[in-house]
Structure 1
Amino acid sequence: MSPSYPSGRDVLRESVAGQRRDVVLGSLLGSGHQLGEALVPVLIGVVIDRAVTRSDTGALVLWLGVLAVVYVGLALSWRFGAWSGDRSAVRAEHALRVALVRRVLHPGGGAEEGRLPGALANIATEDAKRVGAVNMSVMYGISALVGILTTAVVLLRTSVTLGLVVLLGTPVLLWLGHLLSRPLETRGAAEQERAAHASAVAADLVAGLRVLKGIGGESTAIARYRTTSGDSLRATLKAARAQAFQSGMVLALTGCLIAVVALVGGRLAAQGSISPGQLVSAVGLALFLLGPLQMLAWVNAGLAQGRASATRIAEVLATPHTVTAGDRILARPVRGALRLTGVSHGGLREVDLTLRAGERVALVGASGAGKTTLAKLVAGVHRPTAGSVRVTTNGTRESGDRVPVALVTQETHVFAGPLADDLRPARADATDDELRTALTSVAALDWVEALPEGLATVVGEGGHRLTSAQVQQLALARLVPADPPVAVLDEATAEAGSTGARLLEQAADRAVDGRTALVVAHRLTQAATADRIVVMDGGRIVESGTHDELCAAAGIHASLWEAWSGTRTTADETPTHHRP
């Protein structure tokens, strides 16, 4: 699929064009089925005129044999046509899911802005499924039109009047069906929007279930979800009513067309303009029309829902990147230098900061000083509203390089599956020996090997069987096989007690050893060992220097150090706790 989707129409076009082989094959086979279905009443009329009315046994056997061959052909055409159509729909759905996941996981970010994870999951599943089903709609639509055209041609050969009734009535019916599908498109979009929001709220509540139970917030959470789910239910019912109304009206209009064909055919037979067999064929063809016309009503509904879902998918795929990524893979090892020039964002005001390649800088300051905001800007989570954040790697220019900046925060996620897979998000080809080396560097190998299955152990959803310190060790261990040129640690030791914190501080030092690192320090002992300390206050950098230099300057860092030193005895008594 192409990387750019300006509109929902482009998504639909790419979805169908990408599966054109199966769509064409399915359309041909489906058309063969409709052609066979249309020939059945014609052959029955032939049997009546050439065999029954003449009492010709030989002709009866011959035409019944032809009828049997047609039945076999239309049955096989339907079977393989439907299989081809289903395959095109499933493959298109899969391609869209891959495109959506690739966009969400793109290093440039941006797709998650303003969207909950549950909403993105709904778009990647339900919306992708509806757009994929458009391939089936195209196949069925072409097949239905072939069936209608075949009916019209046969009726024209039988009677020009009958043929004109079908040829003139069908376009009017199609136009009315299209008009009736417009409310369905609008309500279908609202239905998917509310369903995505309900899924997002449910996922959010499940993720925080232990917290809710811990504070007795179950009833509030249930009320919140009941309201959201009720909104989704009402949107679904509105969409269902719109679809039922559209289907019912199209069915009624189709019945009117069939009744007109039967009425005109009966009058022609009564006048002797057509034979009894031709009358039977005409009535049979009129009844056959019910199938393709209902199919077209279904196609209209499917296209309406597909257009609504395609628009939602296009909005995600066309979301601008938060940061600009290059297109070259850098040779290993990569060493980066970091430079911020005039950066403003949120509470930050014209921040200038430079980190030399391999330098470890600690970022300290009171709560609300802007440390986390600055860390997220460096990591590419946000784009600065003014100024620039640039990484120069191996002495080359920044603009041509794809530079991974690793971010480790205090809110670490443990992925489902074996622990080894949790350590491989950046390098799927990392060997078990490389993973053990990474675990050794953060002093985690002993407790990992003590697990029931070692690296193959499934530690539970969200890592709830591990302590906070162990989870953070895993997060730090991921840095080693990933080998990023720049690492950002945003209070990566904050959730552990003092004993665990000392262990984590040492692990963090080893994990970023030799790398350019920006460390938001929760504990000032970690800052004191950095190559340089940068102090922030009110969104600006107000001090910079080594720990000894800043203490001697008797500024903000000296005050923070003095205040922290007076409370560290109490902090030392804080035990390492399990994650809630």
Structure 2
Amino acid sequence: MAGTREVRRYARALFRRHPRALAAALLLHAFAAVAGLAGPRLLGDLVESLQHGGAPGTVDRIAITIAVFIVVQAVLVRFAYVASARLGEQVLAELREEFVERVLAIPLSVVERAGTGDLLTRTSRDVDALSRCVRFAVPEILIAMITAVLAIGALVLVSPLLALPLLLAVPVLVASARWYLRRAGAGYLRQNAAYSQVTDGLAETVEGARTIDALRRQPDRIRRTDADLRRSWLTERYTLFLRTVWSPSVEIGYVLPVVGTLLIGGWFYLHGWVSLGQVTTAVIYAQLLIDPIDRFLGWLDELQVGGASLARLLGVHEVGEAAPGQGQTPRGAGMVAEDVHFSYVAGREILHGISLTIEPGERLAIVGPSGAGKSTLGRLLAGVHVPGRGSITVGGVPLASLPLDRLRTEVALVSQEHHVFLGTLRDNVAMVRPESSDDEIRSALAAVHALDWAEALPDGLSTEVGTGGTGLSAAQEQQVALARLVLADPHTLVLDEATSLLDPRAARDLERSLAAVLKGRTVVAIAHRLFSAHDADRVAVVEDGRITELGSHDQLVAAGGSYAALWASWHGAPVTAAPPRAAPG
């Protein structure tokens, strides 16, 4: 969450990028406000003229002049709003583009730790709130401020004495606004955070619906949703309470200047200090001030909502900036993990002092029972997570010191989860290297046995896939992800069950093809299918967050330990495993 100072600094910088557009919008609004102030002054002149028996044509002349100013004001307001809307859309477009860049720069570990619900709320609800603020609240507040300042100036020019009743509203408006503003910012931040929890809980429930149904945990999820909704309701009730206190105070502040100007102006007129025309003009100006002040204070509430949303969006930027990255260059593709400890939750360690050296060009298989920490170790080796203790280096440089773009040229992770983006099949494969030719894309697809079905699509590589396009099976989506990997050509690959959605025979053929294509690359394969381990140079057995065995397939089978038991079980032969042994080094 960004602080108030950062939010204000960013907002100022955002509008300073468009000085001409901002100046044009402000000038148009100022001219429109001046045109609107001519009417009350002319009405005051009309009253003066009638009071002193003015010529009959005076009324017509003043009426026509007022009509002209009304038309001029309408035209100026129209162009002023168009200028403000254009400026708002430009600012909003820049803000959205920058936010996307910030989101894509966030370390995956931060996204996983925060939860997708919070990020979804920021990208949807907070962006929408900020959109409304930029397009409507900011221009309306500027218009209100310009109109109010000019109206007060006009009233002072009419008679400084008649401007004094305006001071009656100052204590009421200032005191109520300060009371509200001290509480509103924090209140809206809590409201948005509570809404994020609702979104996060609902997303988890929908994604895990089958698991919830199988384990009969529906009551737990209902209680969680009820609790989240109640928390959201309480935060919204609090911000509503602030508005219900503030709004009546503001309404009183509106009425005081008008009543005060009418009464005090009448008293001044009876004593001959001001004319009847001046009193008339002053009362109309005091009445005219209600609209800009009302708009200012009304949109000020929207500005608080937008400020809270901007603080949450800029908070994403601060997370991205806080991510480590020194720009060092690795001196090779070798990877070393030294005394690595890791926990997702404090006090519940998943990995316990793992040390592992992976030579350049080596193919390492990581096997073990479910929940042993294999995928967690793979994510650490891929730089998704940072060790709690210990270090992981590639080419002698800590993974944590590499910027994200540099990291992904050194180490790439392909997990069980894949995504096909809306667009052509060509774009989906070439997204890692947009400048790739069709021949390179076809070679990548051929390497993962996907070229046949790809060319059989209605438009070949130009076929639209993803949401609303030609549907791909889970296995085809997985092959697209692997084709991206082939095209990306990183030094080190971490495959976390990358062929899990294919049948065993197809998966084995695919892995052999990948092995040929990726020859000379460092490969870490995490798998339950032991044929992957059989083809590896070395096998690491992970049990209870520790590497208990490390060696080649033949060495581990001969040792008769946990791996030998897994291999025998894979082939259906009963074998009694020897007690687990700690891996050397």
TM-score calculated relative to the size of structure 1: 0.84
- Contact residue 336 and residue 516 of structure 1 kept, 8 A: yes
Q: What is residue 370 of structure 1 aligned with on the other side?
A: 373
- Tell me the distance in 2 between the aligned counterparts of 1:263 and 1:445: 87
Aligned 1:383-398 pairs, distance under 5 A: 383-392=386-395
Q: What is residue 152 of structure 2 aligned with on the other side?
A: 152
Provide the secondary structure at the position in 2 that maps to 1:402. helix
- Tell me the distance in 2 between the aligned counterparts of 1:558 and 1:522: 14
Provide the secondary structure at the position in 1 that maps to 2:421. coil
1:437 lines up with 2:443 in the alignment: yes
Deviation readout 1:26-83 (Å, 9 max, x if unpaired): 3333233333323321122123324784433565555445434433443233223323
1:403 lines up with 2:407 in the alignment: yes
- Tell me the distance in 1 between the aligned counterparts of 2:453 and 2:209: 28
CA drift at 1:335: 6.9
Provide the secondary structure at the position in 2 that maps to 1:493. coil
**Cα 1:453–1:337 shift into 2, 3 Å:** same
Provide the secondary structure at the position in 2 that maps to 1:350. strand
1:512 lines up with 2:533 in the alignment: no
**Cα 1:511–1:321 shift into 2, 3 Å:** farther
- Contact residue 325 and residue 400 of structure 2 kept, 8 A: no
Q: What is residue 478 of structure 2 aligned with on the other side?
A: 472
CA drift at 1:179: 1.9
Aligned 1:118-197 pairs, distance under 5 A: 118-131=117-130, 133-135=132-134, 137-167=137-167, 169-170=169-170, 172-197=172-197
1:482 lines up with 2:488 in the alignment: yes
1:355 lines up with 2:358 in the alignment: yes
- Tell me the distance in 1 between the aligned counterparts of 2:131 and 2:171: 27
CA drift at 1:511: 5.4
Letter in 2 for 1:550: L
**Cα 1:449–1:174 shift into 2, 3 Å:** same
CA drift at 1:480: 1.6
**Cα 1:78–1:454 shift into 2, 3 Å:** same
RMSD: 3.6
Q: What is residue 421 of structure 2 aligned with on the other side?
A: 415
- Tell me the distance in 1 between the aligned counterparts of 2:384 and 2:157: 69
Farther off after superposition, 526-535 or 416-425: 416-425
- Which of residues 342, 347, 363 is equivalent to 2:339? 342
Q: What is residue 571 of structure 1 aligned with on the other side?
A: none
**Cα 1:472–1:341 shift into 2, 3 Å:** same
Deviation readout 1:516-537 (Å, 9 max, x if unpaired): 1111121111111112222333
**Cα 1:28–1:321 shift into 2, 3 Å:** closer
Aligned 1:299-310 pairs, distance under 5 A: 299-310=299-310
Farther off after superposition, 143-152 or 443-452: 143-152
- Contact residue 177 and residue 300 of structure 1 kept, 8 A: no
Letter in 2 for 1:293: I
Deviation readout 1:247-268 (Å, 9 max, x if unpaired): 3331232112222122222222
Q: What is residue 90 of structure 1 aligned with on the other side?
A: 89
- Contact residue 351 and residue 546 of structure 2 kept, 8 A: yes
- Contact residue 408 and residue 489 of structure 1 kept, 8 A: yes
- Tell me the distance in 2 between the aligned counterparts of 1:455 and 1:102: 28
- Tell me the distance in 2 between the aligned counterparts of 1:413 and 1:549: 38
- Tell me the distance in 2 between the aligned counterparts of 1:107 and 1:153: 50
**Unmatched 5+ stretches in structure 2:** 344-349, 575-585
**Cα 1:276–1:218 shift into 2, 3 Å:** same
- Contact residue 488 and residue 517 of structure 1 kept, 8 A: yes
Q: What is residue 545 of structure 1 aligned with on the other side?
A: 551
Q: What is residue 269 of structure 1 aligned with on the other side?
A: 269
- Which of residues 7, 12, 19 is equivalent to 2:15? 19
Provide the secondary structure at the position in 2 that maps to 1:319. helix
- Contact residue 463 and residue 471 of structure 1 kept, 8 A: no
**Cα 1:416–1:560 shift into 2, 3 Å:** same
**Cα 1:91–1:16 shift into 2, 3 Å:** farther
- Tell me the distance in 2 between the aligned counterparts of 1:200 and 1:456: 36
CA drift at 1:384: 0.3
Q: What is residue 290 of structure 2 aligned with on the other side?
A: 290
CA drift at 1:349: 2.4
Farther off after superposition, 133-142 or 246-255: 133-142
1:565 lines up with 2:561 in the alignment: no
- Contact residue 107 and residue 325 of structure 1 kept, 8 A: no
CA drift at 1:342: 2.3
**Cα 1:397–1:415 shift into 2, 3 Å:** closer
CA drift at 1:152: 3.0
**Cα 1:447–1:143 shift into 2, 3 Å:** closer
1:535 lines up with 2:532 in the alignment: no
Provide the secondary structure at the position in 2 that maps to 1:313. helix
- Contact residue 30 and residue 140 of structure 1 kept, 8 A: no
Provide the secondary structure at the position in 1 that maps to 2:114. coil
- Tell me the distance in 2 between the aligned counterparts of 1:40 and 1:270: 25
Farther off after superposition, 422-431 or 405-414: 422-431
**Cα 1:213–1:321 shift into 2, 3 Å:** farther
Provide the secondary structure at the position in 2 that maps to 1:415. coil
- Tell me the distance in 1 between the aligned counterparts of 2:209 and 2:422: 17
TM-score calculated relative to the size of structure 2: 0.84
Letter in 1 for 2:192: Q
- Tell me the distance in 1 between the aligned counterparts of 2:334 and 2:290: 71
CA drift at 1:105: 1.6
**Unmatched 5+ stretches in structure 1:** 569-580
**Cα 1:290–1:157 shift into 2, 3 Å:** same
- Tell me the distance in 2 between the aligned counterparts of 1:290 and 1:8: 29
**Cα 1:488–1:562 shift into 2, 3 Å:** same
Letter in 2 for 1:337: G
**Cα 1:225–1:88 shift into 2, 3 Å:** farther
CA drift at 1:17: 2.2
Deviation readout 1:258-297 (Å, 9 max, x if unpaired): 2212222222233333222222211211110111110221
- Tell me the distance in 1 between the aligned counterparts of 2:513 and 2:49: 93
Farther off after superposition, 133-142 or 375-384: 133-142
**Cα 1:208–1:349 shift into 2, 3 Å:** closer
1:316 lines up with 2:313 in the alignment: no
Q: How many residues align?
A: 560
Deviation readout 1:402-461 (Å, 9 max, x if unpaired): 221211112323334433333234233334332221110000111222233333444554
- Contact residue 23 and residue 139 of structure 1 kept, 8 A: no
- Contact residue 137 and residue 299 of structure 1 kept, 8 A: yes
Farther off after superposition, 233-242 or 261-270: 233-242
Q: What is residue 424 of structure 1 aligned with on the other side?
A: 430
CA drift at 1:301: 0.9
Deviation readout 1:483-535 (Å, 9 max, x if unpaired): 22221001222343323332443354345333211111211111111122223
- Tell me the distance in 2 between the aligned counterparts of 1:321 and 1:188: 25
**Cα 1:445–1:512 shift into 2, 3 Å:** same
CA drift at 1:376: 0.6
Q: Among the aligned pairs, what percent are the same residue?
A: 32
CA drift at 1:235: 4.0
Provide the secondary structure at the position in 1 that maps to 2:494. strand
- Tell me the distance in 1 between the aligned counterparts of 2:210 and 2:470: 10
**Cα 1:117–1:95 shift into 2, 3 Å:** farther
- Tell me the distance in 2 between the aligned counterparts of 1:277 and 1:533: 97
- Tell me the distance in 2 between the aligned counterparts of 1:468 and 1:229: 35
1:281 lines up with 2:281 in the alignment: yes
- Tell me the distance in 1 between the aligned counterparts of 2:191 and 2:323: 32
Letter in 2 for 1:124: T
**Cα 1:132–1:370 shift into 2, 3 Å:** same
- Tell me the distance in 2 between the aligned counterparts of 1:222 and 1:448: 44
Aligned 1:208-247 pairs, distance under 5 A: 228-229=228-229, 231-233=231-233, 235-247=235-247
1:10 lines up with 2:6 in the alignment: yes
Farther off after superposition, 29-38 or 133-142: 133-142
